[in-house]
């Protein structure tokens, strides 16, 4: 059974700061997902990656398969980025295993 650990659990930063959220997992995987959840809201899939790096707007996700580690970066952070960011592992046809999430607050 894969164990997924995220850090930090909570993060408060000022608008404009560069944000990094980390995710480690214990067992080799076919894919890793980064998800975003706003309070009381639905879940949005930000990235699915199995190697290297992906970029979408101000968001960047990287993964190191050998080290079983992934990072999510947010450049030029904005208050609307405030949300819970969740790391999950599993392939497209498998149920996902989730980290506990990182609660991010960006203050104006």
The binding site for other proteins (CB under 8 A) comprises 30-31, 33, 35, 40-45, 48, 50, 86, 88, 91-101
E strands present in 1-108: 4-7, 10-14, 19-25, 32-37, 43-49, 52-56, 59-64, 69-74, 83-89, 97-98, 102-107
Least Cβ distance, residue 91 to other proteins (angstroms): 5
Task: Give whichever of 60 and 96 is closer to other proteins, judged by the CB atom.
Answer: 96
Task: Give whichever of 66 and 93 is closer to other proteins, judged by the CB atom.
Answer: 93
**Which of 12, 3, 1 has its CA nearest to residue 98?**
3
Task: Give whichever of 69 and 103 is closer to other proteins, judged by the CB atom.
Answer: 103
Task: Give whichever of 38 and 78 is closer to other proteins, judged by the CB atom.
Answer: 38
Evaluate whether 68 touches 46 at the Cβ level (below 8 Å). no
Least Cβ distance, residue 16 to other proteins (angstroms): 29
**How far is 108 from 57, CA to CA, in rounded Å?**
20
Least Cβ distance, residue 35 to other proteins (angstroms): 7
């Amino acid at each position: 059974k894969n164990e997924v650990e995220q850090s930090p659990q909570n993060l408060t930063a000022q608008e404009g700061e560069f944000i990094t959220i980390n995710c480690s997992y214990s067992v080799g995987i076919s894919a890793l997902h980064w998800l975003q959840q706003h309070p009381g809201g639905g879940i949005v899939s930000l990235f699915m990656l199995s190697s290297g790096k992906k970029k979408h707007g101000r968001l960047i996700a990287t993964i190191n398969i050998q080290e079983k580690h992934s990072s999510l970066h947010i450049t030029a952070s904005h208050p609307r980025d405030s949300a819970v960011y969740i790391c999950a592992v599993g392939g497209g046809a498998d149920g996902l295993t989730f980290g506990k999430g990182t609660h991010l607050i960006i203050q104006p």
